[in-house]
Amino acid sequence: MRIKKVYGASKTLTCPFCERTATQKNDQGLEVCHLHIKTNLEEFKCLCGSWLELKVGKFGPYFNCIKCGNMNYKKAMEIKKATETKEKSNSPQLKIPERKKELTERIITSNDVEYFD
């Protein structure tokens, strides 16, 4: 059975800065939206701790790590988002003071209805 081809459904590129549809390329060769033509993607670290270098090849952009080797663009961008959220959660401005709860001792017996459902 043959499936009908739909124009534009196979590959949709998004801007790494604002998640809009990418229509143009910047100086690095990365596909971006019209608002970020002059913006360059800064280097960020891999999970192993070394820097990821942006490269553009025949099949699109990818990243190269000295220790890990070539890495998929999508996977590297997920790593970037995860590290950014981790840094935001560790920032001193967002820390909420924790309240210490008093520890209480509770004895559980076999007759306890709440424990044995």
Predicted local confidence at residue 116, as pLDDT:
55
Residue 26 and residue 60 in one domain:
no
Task: Give the domain extent around 53.
Answer: 42-85
Tell me the sheet residues that pair with 25. 31
Residue 48 and residue 76 in one domain:
yes
Asked whether 32 and 18 are in contact (CB, 8 A), the reply is: no
Tell me the sheet residues that pair with 65. 52, 69
Q: What percent of the chain has pLDDT over 90?
A: 12
Residues 6+ apart with CB under 8 A from 68: 46, 47, 48, 50
Predicted local confidence at residue 16, as pLDDT:
83
Predicted local confidence at residue 64, as pLDDT:
92
Buried b (16+ CB within 10 A) or exposed e, 49-79: eeebebeeeeeebbbebeeeeebebeebbeb
Low-confidence ranges of the chain (pLDDT < 50): none
Predicted local confidence at residue 112, as pLDDT:
67
Q: Count of domains in the chain? A: 2
